[in-house]
Amino acid sequence: MKKTLLWLVLALAVPAMGATGDPVTPMLAELRPVQQQSQAAHLAAELLTHYHYKTMPLDAAMSEKIFDHYLKSIDPQRIYFVQADIDRLAPMRTTLGDAMIKEDLSAPFAIFNLYAQRAAERLAYARSLLKKGFDFRQEETYEVDREKEPWAASETEIRELWRKRVKNDWLRLKLAGQEDKNIVDTLDKRYANALRQLGQIAGRDVFQNFMNAYTMAIEPHTNYMGPTAAKDFEMSMKLSLVGIGALLEQKDEYCIIKELVPGGPAALSGELNVGDRIIRVAQNGNGAMTDIMGWRLDDTVALIRGTADTIVQLDILPADVGPDGKHKVVSLVRKKISLEAQAAKKSVITVAEGNTTRRIGVINLPSFYEDLEARQRGDAEYRSATRDVARLLGELKKEKVDSVLIDLRNDGGGSLQEAVELTGLFVGKGPVVQQRDAHGDVSVLESSGKPGVVWDGPLGVLVNRSSASASEIFAAAIQDYGRGLLIGAPSFGKGTVQTVISLDRVAKSNKQEYGELKMTIAQFFRINGGTTQLRGVKPDIVLPEVIDADTFGESSYDNPLPSLQVKAAAYAPVADLTSLLPELRIRHEARIKRDSDFRFMQEDIAELKRLRDKNQVSLNEIERRKEREAQEARQVLKEARSDAGAGEKGTDQKSAVAKNRARRDDGLQAGERTLADELAAEKAGKSAKDPLLDEAAHILGDEVGLLKSKARFVARIGAESSPAPVQ
């Protein structure tokens, strides 16, 4: 996936104010590399140039690729640097690789420091514009996406870009109903917070970003993870961590409790509430309190997490008191917390066609997780996606569902072994995927056949453009075996295999200081010999996709591995569903023409595509208001039709207007809304209708009916052709 650091999005600086009130460029600390980072870069270079699936020398040509990737990660929209800056940095273009081998990281840090300086300068100018205001009667436009545009040729040109950028921010807030004074305050605070976040960027962030520019210059799915990122990756695979069981977020200078995990120490204490602010943290119940006001969120989280069964003390400013309100100290014992929100979940959808009702069991799988460490040490209760899905399938069988749908939308993958074993729950023991190493040797990975086929009934797999890697292995195998219907949009197209290498282990270091490499070591292939690389997995029945395939997915990268072909593995399909597809598609097309929710979704997708292609918005207030009013009128109509039958027509219209008001563009960015508004929006999003899921369930309901009709037909023909019994 395309990655940029959080600070690249948030790096909107606000200047300090001089004695005269004029904006001046703030002074940011110059960041420098440390010895461990230089050593880690050298170690990574040695591994990548010798053991990567696509070995590439770290020469001048590779340095140029790293340079371009690094600039793109720092300034993706080309709104900070000007052409003169790029010319100034040009001598570094061909020397980055040689410098890494020599353990010299001065160049990438110098590039970042120049970026930070430019960010502060640009936004000092942006800050000055807030005092002047804007004339929204002019006819001019703002370009939304500048990724493919040339660097600004001069300071005059880039200032004009920033003038339009700030003017658009102002206009969005104005259209949302804010007064000019509130708009100035909002933007001023926005830039102030962004400057604080810019100042919080540490050398480890710069190093990780540069290393990923190197790794992804080889191919898109090799990554470097610093020690903190490596721990987070491990927790996401284990689906557990040791902590207090609270989801935290940063708002201004405060660390706020956003959610309490049921059954966790924070929730069980009864002393903490959503919205409480954590001011200070102490260890072991008797340590000195550390003030965390203004800290980075990841540093705060690291301080609160720790070893199981140890004590952490929190100095809390309750949600219902002001900044000067009374504090309280809460002591909690850290425990192992299961990340259930990221685990597989089940639900049942009832679909009706005429007088017939079908029950479709849905299993949503966010990732192919596995606690490998627990498995290797023989823990009988280790956590894995396959184990959780097997349990959920057993529960769905007891609920007497007619078919099962595995929802892999937005599942970016995970454990290759889990993809193999999950397939076994539906096909039993047998080949699942083929793997080709850097030497061209091909091996076949088979499911173990344990615990055997858990579900042998009708099956569907729902995918979209964000379904990648392990998701594609599973979906492709189900399709090749003829075991189930593949529904949705063509998947991501990632057909490569990665392994995680600890640089600390390579360096024989007992400390966690060098980080890890997630390195591509092989390509995988379908058991029919085909590949998902670049192509993805193509559904049997295609549904609309919001994501633009030209800008997201394997084919959108500039350096993906090519798609190849290998011999088919020795496998036997368990069924052939192709004869059902024509009738299923006819019923699908007829149904979506009658479905207003589905039709509106298609219109929304078309509108998004139109806006992407247009790539600019008007900065004229009258024109923008007309556009906004037209969009809102259409949204109200959509809501009213969606709620048709819920009450009187007037009531439906009133309800639709209220819903639209709650969803309209308020001009605010993430972190600027109240916590209550954020939680309400998240709740509304979770409860929103899902036309794609509903239609996939209807398709499986159709399949169940066709299979039963076919079975009755075969049984009748068999009975009619049987010889008469001897009397």
Question: What positions carry a catalytic annotation?
Answer: 469, 480, 494
Tell me the CA end-to-end span of the chain in Å, nearest whole number.
72
Element (H, E) at 251: strand 246-251
CA torsion sign, 242 to 248 to 252 to 254? negative
403 alpha carbon, distance to own chain's centre: 29
426 alpha carbon, distance to own chain's centre: 28
Would you say 79 and 158 are in contact if contact means Cβ atoms under 8 Å apart? yes
Q: Which residues contact 470 (CB under 8 A, 6 or more apart)?
A: 368, 411, 413, 414, 415, 416, 418, 419
Q: Which residues contact 502 (CB under 8 A, 6 or more apart)?
A: 230, 514, 516
Would you say 361 and 403 are in contact if contact means Cβ atoms under 8 Å apart? yes
Q: How far from 319 is each of 265, 267, 328, CA to CA, in Å?
A: 19, 15, 12
Element (H, E) at 652: helix 649-663
Distance between CA atoms of residues 269 and 262, nearest Å: 11
Distance between CA atoms of residues 569 and 480, nearest Å: 11
**CA count, 13 A, side-chain hemisphere, 235:** 17
Distance between CA atoms of residues 712 and 706, nearest Å: 10
Do you find a cis peptide bond into 451, omega within 30 degrees of 0? yes
The torsion angle over the Cα atoms of residues 15, 280, 239 and 210, rounded to 10 degrees, is: 30
Which two three-digit tokens encode residue 354?
């005429």
DSSP bridge pairs for 350:
359
What is the identity of the amino acid at 46?
Answer: E
Q: Which residue has the tokens 């610093």?
A: 226
Distance between CA atoms of residues 115 and 507, nearest Å: 32
How crowded is residue 459: how many other Cβ atoms within 10 Å of its Cβ? 21
Q: Supply the angle between the helices 60-74 and 203-218 in degrees, to the nearest 10.
A: 130
Nearest to 76 by CA among 29, 115, 25: 115
Which two three-digit tokens encode residue 315?
């100095």
Distance between CA atoms of residues 316 and 326, nearest Å: 9
Region at 199 (left for phi over 0; alpha for psi -120 to 50; beta for the rest): alpha
**Alpha-helical runs (H) found in 52-105:** 60-74, 83-89, 96-101
Q: Which residues contact 295 (CB under 8 A, 6 or more apart)?
A: 255
Which two three-digit tokens encode residue 471?
């998701």
DSSP letter for 579, please: G
The torsion angle over the Cα atoms of residues 376, 378, 380 and 385, rounded to 10 degrees, is: 10
Distance between CA atoms of residues 417 and 370, nearest Å: 9
